[in-house]
Structures are given as C-alpha cells and as structure tokens.
Structure 1
Amino acid sequence: MTIDGNRTGNALYMPPPDAPGAGAMYPRVVRLDCDDAEGETLLATFEQYGTGDDESEQPYFPLYRSEDGGRTWSRFSEIRDTQNGWGLRFQPTLFELPESIGPWSAGTILAAGNAIPEDRSRTKIDVYASEDGGRNWSYVSTVATGGKAVPRVGATPVWEPEFAIDADGDLVCYFADERHREEGYNQLVGHRVSGDGGQTWGEETFDAAIPDGEQRPGMPVVTKLPDGRYAMVFEIVGPKYEGGIFIKTSPDGRDWGDPADIGSPVQTEKGYQLTNGPYITWTPAGSDEGTVLVSGKTLRDSDRNQAPGSGRTLLETTDFSEFDAWEAVSAPLQFEDAIDVGHETVGWTTPLLPSPDGDRLLQLTSTSVEGERCEISYAAESLEF
C-alpha cells in the first residue's frame, strides 16, 4: 500500500495548481462485464473543475480506463454537453446495460450528469450513451430539468442521478429533487422509469420524502441483492438527521414503500453512523449470501462527533432482512477526512467496486491536496471480515 500525504493509495487525477474550486470531486466507476469476461476492464469519471488555463472552456466529464481491475489507469475519452452549450458540470454516473433494452444492445454504457450553465441558473439531468465501450458518446434524453444550482430555500434544482434496471427489465433513473417545496418537501429522492432504454421517461415517483419543509433526503445509490431485492442508501441533511445515511429496500426497484418511511440508519450497535455522501455495493465475499458494504463521507459517534476511524472505515452487514446489524471494517482507501483537513469537498462521494470474485475491493474518492483542491484517489485491497 502506497502512503502519500493525506491518503493511502494512488492518484487517478491531480488537478493543475491553478484549477478553480475543488479541482476534482464526485468520482464514479463501472465494470464493463459485457466486453470483458474476466471483469478487469473498468471506466471511471468525476467532476473536473477546469484545466486552469482556459476559463472559457465548458466543463465536461473525463473518462479513465483500466484494463487490470483498477490497478492502473489511463486517460481514455470524455463526455461533453452537445445539447445546451453549458457544459456537464456536476454529479456524473456510469452504468453498463447488462441486457438489450430499447435500441441498445447489452454492453452499451449510459452516462448521466448535471448540465448547468456558467451562471448556475438551471439544472438539467441529461443522459448520454456509448456503443463502443466509452470512446464516443451521443445524447439520448433529459430525465429532469430544474432551477438554479444552489441548495437553498427558493431554488428548485435537481441533482445526483443514479441508474438501475428494475425487475421488469426497464431502466430507472433515481435523483434528488428540490422542485416540490410547495408540497412541503425541502428535497426528496424520486425516480422515473423508461421502457425504451432512456429515450422517454414516465412520471416521477417519490421514494424517500419527508414533508416537514426541513429534511433533505438525497444522493441515492442503489444495488441489487442476491435474493432479487434492491437496496437504496441516501443521506438526510437537515436539523434532525444531520446527514445520516439510511437504507431502504424494494422488491422490484420501483416500489420503495411509503416515501415518508426513511428505512433504517446505517449505524453500528454502539451508534457509530456514516453521514453524507453514501455509496452501497454487494460483494460475494464474507458469507454464503455475501456482504453489503456502505461508505460515507464521515463516521460519527452517537453524540454526532467525528468518530475515530473516520476516513478509514466502511460499515458492512450480512443481515439482509432488517439491515440493523452493522460492523466496522477497514477501508482500502484511507484518508484524512473533511473535518481533519477543513475542506468540505474531501470524501464527497466514495464509490466502491468489488472484484467479481469478491477478493478485492476498489475504492475511489476526492482527497485533499495543497490549498482548497482535491485529487481523485483510489486503492484496492482484500477485505478482512
């Protein structure tokens, strides 16, 4: 394991010294199972905050490719806004279609992200598709359009897309939504379903929504369980839950029960809970039915203080019935968290990708470098359950 500055592991991307804002954050990674039977080919992307030498350039999502399971990476291609003249600015996600859907063959890669103009006046979750392994991309559709890209009362943005295939074989896009304030929702998690591979979308359904005008469920991530159910994690920002991560299940990826039922907190018996920036995955390792792993930005104790091990800890469970028995496990990528370095974009999202046999776990996140910038870091290790 490489030790370098504020983190273990290696740098996937280091922003230039004069890069604006965070430099880079919000990584996502996907395995290209359909094109590689060994499961060694991966694609990763992230928010990239300019190059530092051309402020007029519209933002885009860079793509990096690994052909050895995430051990090494090289720049591969990019996804650019071809529809709005704004740029793809925030919250990318990647998803490989496991089967033919609509016009797409198995192995087609879908990407979604937030197209936002320079003045931040609008938000727009756009979908792009690649039929050649991520080299070239074409616009498909828009899932949702919202208002100004600021998370505050009076604004109506949409955020944070996430894809899944439901039990009927239809494409689902989950997202965070601030457009329902007049109905009493500060922010909620909802989804839309497409029966034609993302070309058109049905009506929005609420999945996690608290009508008190304060709490903000958001940042949904979904994984499929070995029994066919689906599990979703999301954060709830606000005065009551303070960013706590919660988990809900669905029999089909569409019906998540009463939206006001927030499910169960991802926390240990002693009250240690992950907060903000959730990610969930299932690995075949750890038990006969495998293990569910959850990451988050910060680990907090029962008094909501930063807990020992924050930035170095995942929570895992093999209890898929109630999801109320969580244990701490050492993370592959270990870093000084946002509280340690005083930089809020550190660890904003922390995606996890197990190897097909569950022997190794790849983890990526944004870690601190000099100034207020972040690099995209990664590490892969075997987990000890």
Structure 2
Amino acid sequence: MLSNTMHYTQLISGLFLLPSILSTSACVTPNPTPSAFTDFNDNILFFPAATAVQWKTLYARSLQLPDESLLMTWENYPAEPPLVTHPIYKSVDGGATWSNFSAITDKVNGWGMRFQPFLYTLPQAFGGYAAGTILAAGVSTPFSLTGGVYIDLYVSQDNAQTWNFVSHIAFGNGPEDITSGHAAIWEPFLMMYNGQLVCYFSDQRDSAHSQKLVHVTTNDLHTWSALVNDVAYSAYNDRPGMTTVAHIESTNQYIMTYEYCGSGKCAVYYKTAANPLNFNSATGIALVGNNTNHSVPYGSPYVIWTANPGKSDGSGVIIASGGSQEPVFINSDNADPQGWKVVDVGQWSAYSRSLRIITVKGKKKLMFGNGGNMGDPSCNSVANGVIEVPY
C-alpha cells in the first residue's frame, strides 16, 4: 500500500496546478475574531490538525438557512482511520464565529466522503421531500483511490443536523486520480431547472477525452438520466473542469464557468445559454479583466448572479472568482467579454473559493468560503469573509 503522502501526491500531481495559478497569499496572520453581524475578511474558522494529510483542507462550500444561520463544509484530510467525512460547521452571528455542527458520513460504501462536497437547498417540494430540504453531493472513494468512485447524494430534513443517503448519482471504476484513461469523476454541482434536479460534474470515463464536463438529471432523486456533454474539446489532452452555474434572472439566461486545462493552460472560461441543459452548443469564452493589465484568472472558478445593489431597475451583476486572483471579476447581465471589471475584495484567494449571497439582519452581503490553495500545506485553514456586494 502507498503511504499517505504518495496517495495524495498522485492526486495533486495531475490537477494541473501550475505555479502560475497558485495563490501568492497562501499564508496570512489570522485576524482577530470579528464582531457579530459585521463585515470582515480572512476569518479563519477551522485549523486542521497537525497530523492532517498533505494540503489539509480544500474546497469550502456554504449554505444559508431560513433563520439566517450559515453552514460551511469542505474537503478535510485528517489521518485515517476513521473514514474521512465532510464536516459541517455552523454560524449564528453572520459568519463571525463557527461551531462544529454535524458531518456527512459515508453510509453505504465503506470508503468515506473524500472530495468536493456541495450543499443545496431544494427551492420546491421534490422527490418526496419538502421545499427547504438540504441536499449534499460529494465524491466517495477509498483512501487508496482505487476500487471505484461514486458521486453520492445525501439529504437532511432537519437543517443539516442529520444526513441520510439517497442515491448514487454517478459511478466510475477509478482510480480516482487525473491520469488520462482512469475512470474518475469529480466536482458535483447541483441546481434545479424546469422541474428536474441537475448534477453537473467532471468526467474522465469517456475514452475520447482525458476529461470533459457533463450533467445528469433526476425527477425523483433516485434515478438519474444518461449523461449529456456540456464541454468536450476535440483535443484528447484538454481537460475542462470544475463546473459552476448561475441563473441570470434579469435575462433568464444561464452562465457556466470552468477551468480550461490543457490547451487553455487552466484559464477560466465561461459559456452562456438560454437552457442550462444545452451548454454544449455554446462557445466557451476566456474570462479576461478589462483593467489595464487585462488580468486573467486561472483555475478553480466560481460564479454567482445577484440583483445589482446600486440600481433599482431589475438588473443584476455577475460575480466570478478564480483560484489565482484575490479580486473578483464583475460583469453586467449580458456577460460581455469586454465587460469584466476587476474588483479588489480583500479576501485571499483559494482553490475553488466559493461565493454566496447571504442576508445579515436582512441586508444582502457577499460571503466567501476558502479552503486551502495547495500552495503551502503548512497553513491551509478554512476561512470566510463577509462584505458589501460589489458592483
């Protein structure tokens, strides 16, 4: 059996994390604990154990409950056994302080919940569950990264206190690494559309592609459709990855962001479409800032949309993040390729830094979720930030 370090080195060595896309601000001195219900940046909420493996934490994801309390989860890498889980931490003071609340544990495979958790609230009754039910998708695979991999779906009917397995969304034979030809799957993203739940993910199982982006749908949370391509480049070694999708409500369009590794050198790209099940017919566009330096974000993007806080005309702003840049990139509803404004937000970058619009005492704010960034494993803690919505 390989050592811990060798297992994770095998994984990271194929994630195309070139020096050019690693953060330059991996380590920061933790700020004093912010006051409740205020704005702040770089608030470390979880320090990994000294015995944690390799990069310690990654891939933070958040959710807000109806009472304005907040949840955060991430990839966690303690020494095993016991099996790794996706922890759930909770804040009841606007993200200033957090406590260990629950965990999503592997209840069916005996492997652990290892990679890329994602939290989603059902906006409507669906699949026998009430509106407001919380779903969690994540990657389950053995510590050895061999023997198979599932993207699994879990459900909580008590605001994330307890979790139950619902279904296997997708399966690959593995190994769960990025070696071309290995049947790995990664990075689930959930969204309701037209009465279906959609799960977008990265897929290495097609022998014609080192990796492509796909989605599957379900009408009942138990049975999932055949996959549909979203991004599949003709060059075998091209590897689009890390789908996130936002609904541009003002125009009823959808925007997808992804990293384009291979020919694209992991630059952030995006597509827009009227139907989020039909991104494959849209053309990918490089996301480039319209500042003097024409800043290019590389790696692990995230995108959201929100109503423009500076206007009352129903328009909105698209907010995108990339792993290599601390600033965010902001555009108007038309996602004009020349319209990406670069805005400094004071929050250090991270591998797949997440974005979420929350309310703090009824006022909209932008919250960041940071795990580690793979740049310096000595200080890869989980942090958040809460700021005014930029526009």
Question: TM-score, normalized by length of structure 1?
Answer: 0.84
**How many angstroms does 1:252 deviate by?**
3.0
Which residue of structure 2 lines up, in the alignment, with residue 348 of structure 1?
A: 351
**How many angstroms does 1:372 deviate by?**
3.5
Which residue of structure 1 lines up, in the alignment, with residue 198 of structure 2?
A: 172
Select the residue among 327, 331, 336 that pairs with 1:313.
Answer: 327
- Superposed CA deviations along residues 136-171 of structure 1, whole A, max 9, x for unmatched, are 1111111111111110123110000000011x1210
**How many angstroms does 1:257 deviate by?**
4.0
Which residue of structure 2 lines up, in the alignment, with residue 241 of structure 1?
A: 264
Q: Give the letter aligned to residue 377 of structure 1.
A: A
- Superposed CA deviations along residues 71-123 of structure 1, whole A, max 9, x for unmatched, are 32211100000000000001100000011011111011000110010210122
Is the Cα–Cα contact under 8 Å of residues 62 and 119 in structure 2 kept in the other structure? Answer: yes
Is the Cα–Cα contact under 8 Å of residues 250 and 257 in structure 1 kept in the other structure? Answer: no
Select the residue among 49, 55, 58 that pairs with 1:16.
Answer: 49
Please list, as runs of the form range in 1=range in 2, the aligned pairs for 1:194-213 lying within 5 A after superposition: 194-196=218-220, 198-213=221-236
Is the Cα–Cα contact under 8 Å of residues 165 and 253 in structure 1 kept in the other structure? Answer: no
Give the SS at the match of 2:243. strand
Which residue of structure 1 lines up, in the alignment, with residue 306 of structure 2?
A: 283
Select the residue among 263, 271, 285 that pairs with 2:294.
Answer: 271
Please list, as runs of the form range in 1=range in 2, the aligned pairs for 1:316-331 lying within 5 A after superposition: 316-320=330-334, 322-331=336-345
**How many angstroms does 1:5 deviate by?**
1.8
Select the residue among 220, 223, 230 that pairs with 2:246.
Answer: 223
- Aligned-partner Cα distance in 2 for 1:253–1:371: 36
**How many angstroms does 1:69 deviate by?**
3.0
Residue segments in structure 2 that go unaligned for 5+ positions in a row:
1-26, 32-40
**How many angstroms does 1:286 deviate by?**
4.3
- Aligned-partner Cα distance in 2 for 1:358–1:124: 39
1:321/1:277 CA distance change after superposition, 3 Å:
closer
Which residue of structure 2 lines up, in the alignment, with residue 29 of structure 1?
A: 62
Select the residue among 111, 123, 127 that pairs with 2:149.
Answer: 123
Residue 189, structure 1, aligned to residue 217, structure 2 = no
- Aligned-partner Cα distance in 2 for 1:21–1:64: 22
**How many angstroms does 1:334 deviate by?**
2.7
1:82/1:294 CA distance change after superposition, 3 Å:
same
**How many angstroms does 1:228 deviate by?**
2.3
Which residue of structure 2 lines up, in the alignment, with residue 137 of structure 1?
A: 163
Residue 382, structure 1, aligned to residue 374, structure 2 = no
- Aligned-partner Cα distance in 2 for 1:267–1:31: 31
- Aligned-partner Cα distance in 1 for 2:127–2:106: 23
**How many angstroms does 1:279 deviate by?**
0.4
Select the residue among 48, 71, 74 that pairs with 1:43.
Answer: 71
Please list, as runs of the form range in 1=range in 2, the aligned pairs for 1:61-80 lying within 5 A after superposition: 61-80=86-105
- Aligned-partner Cα distance in 2 for 1:206–1:256: 8
Is the Cα–Cα contact under 8 Å of residues 333 and 364 in structure 1 kept in the other structure? Answer: no
Q: Give the letter aligned to residue 260 of structure 2.
A: I
Which residue of structure 2 lines up, in the alignment, with residue 100 of structure 1?
A: 125
Which residue of structure 1 lines up, in the alignment, with residue 20 of structure 2?
A: none
- Aligned-partner Cα distance in 2 for 1:370–1:257: 36
**How many angstroms does 1:331 deviate by?**
1.9
Which residue of structure 1 lines up, in the alignment, with residue 347 of structure 2?
A: 333
**How many angstroms does 1:68 deviate by?**
3.0
Question: TM-score, normalized by length of structure 2?
Answer: 0.83
1:358/1:224 CA distance change after superposition, 3 Å:
farther
Q: Give the letter aligned to residue 169 of structure 1.
A: G
Higher relative contact order (CA 8 A, sep 6+): 2
Q: Give the letter aligned to residue 113 of structure 1.
A: G
Residue 88, structure 1, aligned to residue 113, structure 2 = yes
**How many angstroms does 1:264 deviate by?**
1.5
**How many angstroms does 1:353 deviate by?**
1.2
Select the residue among 148, 157, 166 that pairs with 2:184.
Answer: 157
Q: Give the letter aligned to residue 180 of structure 2.
A: V
> What is the number of equivalent residue pairs in this alignment?
345
- Superposed CA deviations along residues 168-222 of structure 1, whole A, max 9, x for unmatched, are 12100000000112x2x111110001011x2111110000110210111110011
- Aligned-partner Cα distance in 2 for 1:323–1:290: 16
Is the Cα–Cα contact under 8 Å of residues 216 and 227 in structure 2 kept in the other structure? Answer: yes
- Aligned-partner Cα distance in 2 for 1:380–1:28: 14
Is the Cα–Cα contact under 8 Å of residues 288 and 337 in structure 2 kept in the other structure? Answer: no
Which residue of structure 1 lines up, in the alignment, with residue 371 of structure 2?
A: 366
What fraction of aligned residue pairs are identical, expressed as a percent? 30
